[in-house]
Chains A and B, each alone.
Chain A
């Protein structure tokens, strides 16, 4: 759960506000993995994840002095991340660049998988289908579904991060799941 009282975070925040590079590096290293995971799972592979991670952290460093400590640092960092993700999704929606199928493989520079080539191909296909399904959801539903189902946030945390009533989050999750399941019906074993 979110740790509301952390002296380490206070030190970190203070250092970052002063513009101390050392503390900025620490903050970056602390949150980089979670931020990356959230971005990747929310947006899919068609985005320049590196660029978005940079945007998130630049926004964090620039607006840390506005951080009032009403929520925990974790919540605040995720909130900024989701905001940046929403901005990205909106931009993409506006440009009607929905298709991700062609571009999904181009930035894959991960380590070779241990799976067999056939399994790997199936996995790739599934991932593309999930990304396609997520793309079909509205931004709000997509965010809640990926945060809840893929990133493992609790409903309470999502409500805090998105600053929405828990009922709204629940409703978005319910409808989002339904739409995604409909899209992936061929893959779901009942």
Chain B
């Protein structure tokens, strides 16, 4: 639309044109445009909300006609119906009523809610914390013009209505642009928004905007993440776990896409992005489980709350009022009240605290367990080993799982359902789903294997270790790949030793492992564990030879320190061989000057020297212990024994 006929001959006109063309006008900056755009659409919103009351009624009654000249009669009828219903039933169609069901269910870390309409001063800022959740009544959160900011490590769980919830993850900022029963519009400035939404009807809209996209949601489970990359380019990722989401990039009009269940899209500033299938690793099973549990729990009218326990490291035993309830991560429902929660893991200091659980709320319990260095010092190794009855650490169980053969099937909705059930501890339900999936005709072998793996995990979760072992054994026999075979064997070893207390079985399997896979990934640990199993079977001679073989073969292995100490202890307390014991204690102290066994090793060596008739050396060790461990549990004994020396 730009060209003109510029064939002027008049010099005055030419001069004028030259003058005008030389004139430049100021350019507007992007920021100015953004401000203008925001103002414009805010004004439009205002106009829309103030005008068309009739139009809103029309929406509420679902009448599809337009208000043209010919529809006046129909309009009048609508109005009459509204008036009559008001008169007779006292009901006014508050289609844009505020969200009365919205509330905060749980919070972790620091979340700040800024309400621009809250006070006459301009805005009000409230920091949400676990202890002040009650200050946010129903309807107090998710109001128009609220800004919700979750800082680092923070997390906020919000109920939109009784079947819709969202989780705002750490480092996220969300502005509520509209929030009423008809329209919810949220603007995600940055971070991650995870939502499970009850199906909306036609007159209701749910929109999530990011700086470069608009997503329309009808009823589904999805997550949206947005961030700026190093070049300040906006990137938005949308992943859909159930249903469909319409997304479009509005920075550059590039049309829209429908993203279905199990799909994901990345939209950057000037690219529409490809739709791709979700990876299993991308499945936020934990968040999905939480949302699932939330939507289920609201159906019941009980006074339950939810405990979300996650320890660092994971896999710790959780006790509530002294009763074991499971391992972390643990998501479980409890009646409202105060609970004494203890989290324990071998090799770590136990953590304990009283947690109060409010009705319908989520309490996040996230202890960081600190390494326990004194425990080994306190107890002779055999006593502790026997008490444990499970010499193989459960953490190794997980890492031993083969992960290479897990593919595709992860996107089957039923399979996801089973995974969710497993996470929330509903193994029985998960088992039913998995059993039905296993027999689907035409299912690929890889998928079948994965389902069987999950079935094994379910049995494990239910405490039915014999069944788990049966499945593992079956897989082990049918497996031809030596790496996978060795992993399966290792898994069986751990199960037998850890969970079934079948040390003879574990011993046989360990011998097979050492013999068959001399280069296997667990070979060093296998030697150490075989030694431990022999100790538990009280076959000390075999234990000594195994430990010696271990130390000889893996001079600097990660378990050698442990083996040296155990070897010395066997000689000292079980075989009464002080000379040997002295040799191994000395080797341990010399090779590992920072060993956590130092206190016990010094004391035991001193005892050996004393028994062997070497009081001077014994005295030296006792004194060293007293100076190094003035608060050690052997301090008293040390002083007493030192006093006995000449």
Asked if chains A and B come from one complex, the reply is yes
| Residue-wise interface mask of A (80-124) relative to B, using a CB-CB cutoff of 8 A (1 in contact, 0 not) | 000000000000000000000000000011110000000000010
Known: A37-B25, A180-B16. A22 touches B4 (CB 8 A): no
- Whether A41 and B25, one on each chain, are in contact in the complex, defined by CB atoms closer than 8 angstroms, is yes
Interface residues of B in 10-27 (CB under 8 A from A): 11-13, 15-27
- Whether A150 and B248, one on each chain, are in contact in the complex, defined by CB atoms closer than 8 angstroms, is no
| Residue-wise interface mask of B (6-46) relative to A, using a CB-CB cutoff of 8 A (1 in contact, 0 not) | 00000111011111111111111100110011011101100
Size of A's binding interface in residues, CB under 8 A: 53
Interface membership of B89, Cβ < 8 A: no
Q: What's the minimum C-beta distance from A78 to chain B, rounded to whole angstroms?
A: 8
- Whether B17 and A149, one on each chain, are in contact in the complex, defined by CB atoms closer than 8 angstroms, is yes
List B contacts of A75 (CB < 8 A). Answer: 1
Query: CB within 8 A of B15: which of A22, A29, A50, A190?
Result: A190
CB nearest neighbor in A for B18: A189
| Residue-wise interface mask of A (148-167) relative to B, using a CB-CB cutoff of 8 A (1 in contact, 0 not) | 11101111010000000000
- Whether B40 and A57, one on each chain, are in contact in the complex, defined by CB atoms closer than 8 angstroms, is yes
List B contacts of A178 (CB < 8 A). Answer: 12
Query: CB within 8 A of A188: which of B16, B21, B207?
Result: B16
- Whether A22 and B43, one on each chain, are in contact in the complex, defined by CB atoms closer than 8 angstroms, is no
Q: What's the minimum C-beta distance from B362 to chain A, rounded to whole angstroms?
A: 33
CA distance A187 to B28 in the complex (A): 28
- Whether B1 and A187, one on each chain, are in contact in the complex, defined by CB atoms closer than 8 angstroms, is no
- Whether B1 and A188, one on each chain, are in contact in the complex, defined by CB atoms closer than 8 angstroms, is no
- Whether A32 and B5, one on each chain, are in contact in the complex, defined by CB atoms closer than 8 angstroms, is no
- Whether A2 and B1, one on each chain, are in contact in the complex, defined by CB atoms closer than 8 angstroms, is yes
| Residue-wise interface mask of A (130-148) relative to B, using a CB-CB cutoff of 8 A (1 in contact, 0 not) | 1000000000000000001
List A contacts of B40 (CB < 8 A). Answer: 28, 53-54, 57-58
List B contacts of A130 (CB < 8 A). Answer: 19-20, 23
List B contacts of A32 (CB < 8 A). Answer: 33, 36-37
Q: What's the minimum C-beta distance from B583 to chain A, rounded to whole angstroms?
A: 79
Query: CB within 8 A of A184: which of B2, B19, B41, B44?
Result: B19
Q: What's the minimum C-beta distance from A145 to chain B, rounded to whole angstroms?
A: 9
- Whether A152 and B44, one on each chain, are in contact in the complex, defined by CB atoms closer than 8 angstroms, is no
Q: Which of B48, B185, B250 has the most CB of A within 10 A?
A: B250
CA distance A184 to B20 in the complex (A): 10
CA distance A32 to B38 in the complex (A): 13
Q: What's the minimum C-beta distance from B5 to chain A, rounded to whole angstroms?
A: 7
CA distance A177 to B641 in the complex (A): 115
Interface membership of A36, Cβ < 8 A: yes
Q: What's the minimum C-beta distance from B634 to chain A, rounded to whole angstroms?
A: 73
- Whether B44 and A50, one on each chain, are in contact in the complex, defined by CB atoms closer than 8 angstroms, is no
List A contacts of B21 (CB < 8 A). Answer: 149
- Whether B16 and A155, one on each chain, are in contact in the complex, defined by CB atoms closer than 8 angstroms, is no
- Whether A1 and B1, one on each chain, are in contact in the complex, defined by CB atoms closer than 8 angstroms, is yes
List A contacts of B43 (CB < 8 A). Answer: 54, 58
Q: What's the minimum C-beta distance from B60 to chain A, rounded to whole angstroms?
A: 16
- Whether A150 and B20, one on each chain, are in contact in the complex, defined by CB atoms closer than 8 angstroms, is yes
Query: CB within 8 A of A153: which of B2, B15, B23, B26?
Result: B2
Q: What's the minimum C-beta distance from A189 to chain B, rounded to whole angstroms?
A: 6
CA distance A110 to B17 in the complex (A): 25
Interface residues of B in 29-84 (CB under 8 A from A): 29, 32-33, 36-37, 39-41, 43-44, 47-48
Known: A28-B40, A152-B4, A153-B2. A188 touches B48 (CB 8 A): no
Q: What's the minimum C-beta distance from A87 to chain B, rounded to whole angstroms?
A: 18
Interface residues of A in 10-68 (CB under 8 A from B): 12, 19, 21-22, 24-26, 28-30, 32, 36-37, 40-41, 50, 53-54, 57-58, 61-62
CA distance A61 to B4 in the complex (A): 30
Q: Which of A8, A123, A155, A177 has the most CB of B within 10 A?
A: A177
CA distance A25 to B1 in the complex (A): 22
Known: A58-B47, A126-B19, A190-B11. A50 touches B2 (CB 8 A): no
- Whether B33 and A58, one on each chain, are in contact in the complex, defined by CB atoms closer than 8 angstroms, is no
List B contacts of A61 (CB < 8 A). Answer: 44
CB nearest neighbor in B for A180: B16
- Whether A50 and B19, one on each chain, are in contact in the complex, defined by CB atoms closer than 8 angstroms, is no
A-B interface, 6 closest residue pairs, ranked by CB to CB distance from nearest: A110-B26, A188-B15, A22-B214, A181-B16, A181-B12, A26-B253
22 pairs from A and B in contact (CB 8 Å cutoff): A1-B3, A21-B214, A22-B214, A22-B250, A32-B37, A37-B25, A40-B25, A50-B39, A53-B36, A54-B40, A58-B40, A58-B44, A123-B23, A123-B24, A130-B19, A130-B23, A148-B4, A149-B20, A154-B2, A181-B13, A189-B15, A189-B18
Residues of A within 8 A of B (CB): 1-2, 8, 12, 19, 21-22, 24-26, 28-30, 32, 36-37, 40-41, 50, 53-54, 57-58, 61-62, 74-75, 78, 108-111, 123, 126-127, 130, 148-150, 152-155, 157, 177-178, 180-181, 184, 187-190
17 additional A-B residue pairs with CB within 8 Å, beyond A21-B41, A53-B36, A54-B39: A1-B1, A1-B3, A21-B214, A25-B41, A26-B250, A32-B33, A32-B37, A54-B36, A57-B40, A58-B43, A111-B27, A123-B24, A150-B23, A153-B2, A154-B1, A181-B15, A188-B12
